[in-house]
């Protein structure tokens, strides 16, 4: 491998590939809980529900830079998650209907905000959520393998990559710490509640984590892929095993390999 090739690899291919892998890994792991809870469509719901947050982020900051828009998106995703849980519990809607109601209304709200604001005139790039911006994740400070150990160069690592790595760490910690609780509440929330476990509150925390992971992944790989990666690895693993631990490991492996 020549020096130039290595540089291109480190600058362009590595960050993109790594981001995709990390995004898929986080989604693949969290997707297990969604599939087991029959809430697979959470990714789809969130991908629509972030629109008002994107527009609000743009309006507040007045710039097209992705930072504030992503903050808005995270806020909107968290709001949508809380609303969906509220609709399920207070309105006693089944989870599919609750998601449908919340995401479609939020999406419509986002569209109206978009059309009513100046955002329309500058052609706000909503597609950045739809298909992601993998090709823009670059690590221009890299010059060779040595950069991997160079703090100055590492500080220039693409923000998306850092966010995704942090997200993965958070997901891994969460799953490791609450493994038993996750198992219990995914299979039988009523039994968990009967044991004195606050299944609803725990579920809300899980959903908020999923919302944050989804938004981080939207930016990198786009919503369509996130929707797919939340479901497909878990569903594939479900076909291959009946054991929970095996299922998790399989799903993680499948998703990382795909990414």
CB of 120 to another protein, least distance (A): 8
Token readout for 98 is: 């609750």
What does the chain come to in residues?
A: 259
Token readout for 79 is: 């709001």
Residue whose CB is less far from another protein, 44 or 219: 44
Token readout for 178 is: 């609450």
CB of 115 to another protein, least distance (A): 6
What's the rounded Cα separation, in Å, for the pair 19 and 147? 18
Residue whose CB is less far from another protein, 93 or 172: 93
What's the rounded Cα separation, in Å, for the pair 167 and 220? 13
CB of 42 to another protein, least distance (A): 9
Residue with tokens 């959470």: 42
Residue whose CB is less far from another protein, 10 or 219: 219
What's the rounded Cα separation, in Å, for the pair 259 and 249? 15
Residue whose CB is less far from another protein, 235 or 249: 235
Q: How many CA atoms lie within 13 A of 160 on its CB side?
A: 29
What's the rounded Cα separation, in Å, for the pair 188 and 241? 19
Asked if 210 and 227 count as a contact pair (C-beta separation under 8 A), the reply is: no
Residue whose CB is less far from another protein, 73 or 153: 73
CB of 143 to another protein, least distance (A): 34
Q: Give the residue from 14, 57, 47, 259 showing the smallest Cα distance to 161.
A: 14
CB of 5 to another protein, least distance (A): 29
CB of 160 to another protein, least distance (A): 21
Site residues, another protein (CB under 8 A)? 35, 38-41, 43-44, 48, 90-94, 96-97, 99-101, 104-105, 107-109, 111-112, 115-118, 130-131, 224-225, 227-228, 230-232, 234-235, 238-239
Residue whose CB is less far from another protein, 69 or 232: 232
Residue whose CB is less far from another protein, 17 or 96: 96
Token readout for 68 is: 């504030």
CB of 179 to another protein, least distance (A): 22
Percentage helix, strand, coil, to 5, in the chain?
A: 80, 0, 20
């Amino acid at each position: 491998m020549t020096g130039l090739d290595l540089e291109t690899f480190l600058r362009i291919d590595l960050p993109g590939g790594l981001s995709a892998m990390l995004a898929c890994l986080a989604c693949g792991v969290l997707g297990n809980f969604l599939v087991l809870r029959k809430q697979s469509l959470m990714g789809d719901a969130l991908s629509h529900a972030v629109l008002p947050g994107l527009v609000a982020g743009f309006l507040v900051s007045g710039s097209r830079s992705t930072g504030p828009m992503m903050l808005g998106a995270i806020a909107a995703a968290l709001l949508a998650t809380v609303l969906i849980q509220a609709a399920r519990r207070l309105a006693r809607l089944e989870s599919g209907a609750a998601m449908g109601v919340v995401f479609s209304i939020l999406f419509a709200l986002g569209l109206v905000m978009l059309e009513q604001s100046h955002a329309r005139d500058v052609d706000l790039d909503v597609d950045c959520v739809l298909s992601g911006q993998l090709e823009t994740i670059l690590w221009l400070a890299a010059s060779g393998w040595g950069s991997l150990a160079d703090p100055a160069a590492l500080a220039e690592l693409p923000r998306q990559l850092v966010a995704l790595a942090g997200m993965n760490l958070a997901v891994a910690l969460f799953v490791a710490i609450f493994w038993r609780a996750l198992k219990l509440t995914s299979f039988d929330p009523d039994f968990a509640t009967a044991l004195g476990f606050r299944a609803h509150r725990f579920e809300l925390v899980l959903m908020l984590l999923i919302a944050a992971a989804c938004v981080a992944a939207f930016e990198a790989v786009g919503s369509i892929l996130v929707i797919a990666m939340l479901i497909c690895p878990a569903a594939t693993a479900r076909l291959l095993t009946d054991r929970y631990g095996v299922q998790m490991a399989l799903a993680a492996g499948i998703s990382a390999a795909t990414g």
